[in-house]
Chains A and B, each alone.
Chain A
Amino acid sequence: MSEPGRGRVDLAVTVLCVLVGTLIGVLTPARRLVLTHALRSSVLAPVLLTQEAVARRTRLSARLAVLETERDSLARDLIEARQALEENARLREVLSLGPRPSDTLVAVELEPGRVPGGEDQTFLVRRGSDDGVRAPAGVFTARGLVGVLRSSTAHATRGQFWTHPDFRVSVRTATGTASGIVRAGDDPDQPMMILEGAPYQTDIPPGTVLYTSGLGGLYPPGIPVGTVRSVSAVESGWEKSYRVEPAVRPEQVDVALVWRRPAGP
């Protein structure tokens, strides 16, 4: 073919490419999506799989670093806890209180929102009374309170996150100067808690951490629940409510601990 002829072919091919490209550009988004999906699942599949594998590896490396830090921190805490336990045992002996009742923690995996017919704020634990997991019992992590187990069978247990409207927990400040009941906030879009029933005369400054009081026997005392952020409402001369930032958000939890309270005498 002569050079001018080849030039015309080049031009025709280019015009065709531009036309096809423009046609694709004016397709409806749904039809373009079909083409996009076809390319992403064929020609681009190896590239996307590689990118996903690299991203997963990066995430795992970051997670590993966090877990190693947590492990080191736990090892240090364990040494301190052993010393505290020994001191506690000696003190109880001096005070003739007898040995401290032993409680048990059972590690469980939470499956949020997967209970058939259940609500959004519930979770399922695939361990039941046969595994030593019995409702009702408090559920928490090292960072703080997660929720409560409500009903159990031999092999599964259903629980509620603290975001559930029925959830209540008795709390107090570290010094014990103020106490109250914490429930989920009213705005489902804002994962905040509300502290109710706090004494009117006592101000709880922002930044104060609230802990479980242990009243009711569902939760062990001393588990962080949240941090006071601001006054929510004042009921004249009687009590105050506070907005509380939760220590743990449900979406952060994969594995948690279930508290089995010490057996009675």
Chain B
Amino acid sequence: MNNATGGGLMTVLTIAALLVAHFLLRPLLVARPFAPDLLAGALMLAALHVRPGTAAVVGFGAGLLEGAMALEGMGTLAATFALVSYVAARARELFFADSALFLPAFAFVGVWALHLGELLAVGAPLDWFEWLVQSPVSAALTALLVLLVERAVTSRPSAV
């Protein structure tokens, strides 16, 4: 197994582990709005490493499962997650640079956008405190998590 294949497998396993952890810990995390969003983190990691189409499929699947767990917004969540994942992956292709600030900024904006999409998808009225306070804090924690995981898993992103 060469380095690129090993790194790709490691990334896939990490994304899967984050998704499994998200669904396992969901009852705990739902009650803590300032916790990192593992599902959003997994989608941003996927957007960093895979093609936009693959990222959209991952987002679609994650959205379906999230809708089934939450018992609301099933299809709209899947569509929203697919769209945000695609846009994030396209943004990575367009803007990726070796700047140290790129990755946390990318993850922060991506997670925040995903949260807004999630709010709109389930048809909930826009709660400004949630959108302007809780969501940015959660996005910042998630960005930190993505940064740490990214550094631990691979030193250089590679398309799968």
User: A: which residues have CB within 8 A of B?
Assistant: 6-7, 9-14, 17-27, 32, 35-36, 39-40, 43-44, 47, 50-51, 55
Closest-CB distance, B63 to chain A (whole angstroms): 7
Binary flags per residue of B67-95, CB closer than 8 Å to A gives 1, else 0:
11101011111111011001001000000
Contacts of A43 in B (CB 8 A): 65
Say whether B68 contacts A22, CB under 8 Å: no
A13 and B75 in contact, given A21-B63, A21-B80, A39-B65 (Cβ under 8 angstroms): no
Q: Binding site of B, secondary structure by majority: helix, strand, loop or mixed?
A: helix
Q: How far is the CA of A83 from the CA of B104 in the complex (A)?
A: 71
Q: Which 9 A-B pairs have the closest CB atoms?
A: A24-B75, A21-B79, A25-B75, A10-B53, A13-B53, A17-B82, A21-B78, A14-B56, A39-B68
Q: How far is the CA of A19 from the CA of B76 in the complex (A)?
A: 10
Interface residues on B, range: 20 to 34
Chain A residue with Cβ nearest B56:
A14
Contacts of A35 in B (CB 8 A): 68, 74
Contacts of B64 in A (CB 8 A): 21, 24, 39
Contacts of B20 in A (CB 8 A): 47
Contacts of B60 in A (CB 8 A): 17, 20-21
Say whether B68 contacts A17, CB under 8 Å: no
Instruction: Please tell me if B137 contacts chain A, counting CB pairs below 8 Å.
Output: no
Say whether B53 contacts A44, CB under 8 Å: no
Q: How far is the CA of A14 from the CA of B20 in the complex (A)?
A: 23
A14 and B74 in contact, given A9-B53, A21-B63 (Cβ under 8 angstroms): no
Instruction: Please tell me if B105 contacts chain A, counting CB pairs below 8 Å.
Output: no
Most chain B CB within a 10 A radius of its CB, from A14, A26, A50: A14
Contacts of A55 in B (CB 8 A): 27
Which of the residues A18, A19, A24, A51 comes within 8 Å of B74, measured between beta carbons?
Answer: A24
Say whether A36 contacts B76, CB under 8 Å: no
Contacts of B65 in A (CB 8 A): 39, 43-44
Say whether A32 contacts B76, CB under 8 Å: no
Say whether B27 contacts A27, CB under 8 Å: no
Q: 12 A-B residue contacts at CB 8 Å?
A: A10-B89, A11-B53, A14-B53, A17-B57, A17-B60, A20-B60, A24-B64, A24-B78, A27-B75, A39-B64, A47-B24, A55-B27
